[in-house]
Amino acid sequence: MKIMVLLKRTPDTEARIKLSADGKTIDDEGIQYILNPYDEFALEEALQIKDKLGSGEIIACSYGTEAQRDIIVRGLAMGADRGLLITAEARRDSLGISKVLAKAVEKEQPDIVFCGKQGIDDDNMHVGVMVAEYLGWPHVNVVNKLTLDGRTATVEREVEGGQMEVYESQLPLIIGANKALNSPRYVSLPGIMKAKRKPLDVLTAADLGGEAATCKSEIIGYQYPPEKPPGRLFKDKPLAEMVDEVVRLLREEAKVI
């Protein structure tokens, strides 16, 4: 079975985000980038399928700048067999990215494509769904469980209120991984050493037979969230008095009770 996993590079969840001078992007200085955490669940599922079947090929693919190479190498260190980096000169929106990724999927003809349910930075949940729409493939997002029986996939996704929706689909299929899907493995030292010897192709949209991706939307600017008011400390008074004061403030100022 041939499986493709789409990987996105995101700022570390612990990173303190600073905006660039024009406010249109984030300032990269001092920011640690990681593999989008949901993409780890996506890759782990692909690896477990290959382990179970005893054969297959997993392609780790990302679209962006040369900086994306690091997360592909991480994917190779986790166990993917081959990397595919698609580079572009300018930033693209989700639609443009999906169009190019769909071309890559068309070229590779995998049986399943895994992606994360969302990028933890932009939080759009666009790409997997749009790639599927470009290809005319079925897709299910926010997937908690996947069972394969030959070319038939049974897919469970959790919906509001904890209910499960169950889908059945023939392959090929695009799956958006949720964190309940599995527990991603740690990257081992031998895995890191092996990753250096695995093939990693670098292509452009033109190499894939597609036009350069267009951008239909433009980010006008990012804004910091409003400053939180400073915390208040209650001390040096009898406990009952302080509790009364906290309750009064919660009722009259915060209006939460």
Ligand X SMILES: Cc1cc2nc3c(=O)[nH]c(=O)nc-3n(C[C@H](O)[C@H](O)[C@H](O)COP(=O)(O)OP(=O)(O)OC[C@H]3O[C@@H](n4cnc5c(N)ncnc54)[C@H](O)[C@@H]3O)c2cc1C
Residues that bind ligand X in the complex, under the rule CB under 6 A: 6-8, 25, 36, 38-39, 42, 62-65, 88, 90-92, 94, 97, 101, 115-116, 118-119, 121-122, 124-128
Residue 47: CB minimum distance to ligand X, A: 15
Residue 65 or 249 having the CB closest to ligand X: 65
Residue 170 or 214 having the CB closest to ligand X: 214
Burial class (CB in 10 A: 0-12, 13-18, 19+), 101: buried
Task: Please give the Cα distance from 80 to 195 (Å, whole number).
Answer: 9
Residue 88 or 249 having the CB closest to ligand X: 88
Residue 229: CB minimum distance to ligand X, A: 29
Are 38 and 162 in contact by the 8 Å Cβ rule? The answer is: no
Residue 108: CB minimum distance to ligand X, A: 13
Alpha helices in 84-168 (DSSP H): 94-108, 127-135
Residue 219: CB minimum distance to ligand X, A: 8
> DSSP assignment, residue 170?
E
Residue 112: CB minimum distance to ligand X, A: 13
For residue 79, which of 48, 52, 53 has the smallest C-alpha distance?
A: 48
Residue 71 parent element (H or E) = helix 69-78
Strands 200-204 and 152-159: unpaired
Residue 200 or 249 having the CB closest to ligand X: 200
Residue 79 or 119 having the CB closest to ligand X: 119
